[in-house]
């Protein structure tokens, strides 16, 4: 009977160790905040490159108007 309990305890300990190891390695794989910012900047640059010259000009004018309104 004692060997059965030792066997169950051993399996639980090994399973717990493997679980904690997997959790720790998964935590190390998470992207950091800087990587998220870089990803967003890349996406914004990609969207910007899709715009035509006329759309870029309209966007620049609208931003200029917004800044002029804020300055007032």
Q: Is the pLDDT of residue 20 over 90?
A: yes
Rg of the chain on CA atoms, in Å: 28
CA distance readout (Å), 52 to 10, 49, 56, 58, 61:
66, 8, 6, 10, 14
| Structural domain total, the chain | 2
Q: Is the pLDDT of residue 6 over 80?
A: yes
- 56 and 42, same structural domain? yes
Q: Among residues 34, 38, 56, which one has the least CA distance to residue 47?
A: 56
- 44 and 26, same structural domain? no
Entry pTM: 0.45
pLDDT at position 57: 84
- 66 and 43, same structural domain? yes
Calculate mean pLDDT across residues 22-43. 88
- 25 and 38, same structural domain? no
Higher pLDDT, 46 or 39: 39
- 47 and 26, same structural domain? no
- 38 and 23, same structural domain? no
| Interacting residues of 51 by C-beta distance below 8 A, sequence separation 6+ | 59
Quote the domain boundaries for residue 1. 1-30
- 22 and 4, same structural domain? yes
């Amino acid at each position: 009977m004692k060997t059965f309990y030792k066997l169950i305890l051993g399996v639980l300990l090994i399973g717990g160790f493997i679980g904690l190891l997997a959790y720790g390695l998964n935590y190390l794989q998470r992207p950091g905040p800087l990587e998220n910012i870089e990803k967003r900047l890349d996406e914004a640059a990609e969207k910007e490159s899709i715009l035509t010259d006329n759309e870029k000009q309209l966007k620049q004018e609208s931003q200029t108007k917004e800044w002029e309104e804020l300055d007032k």
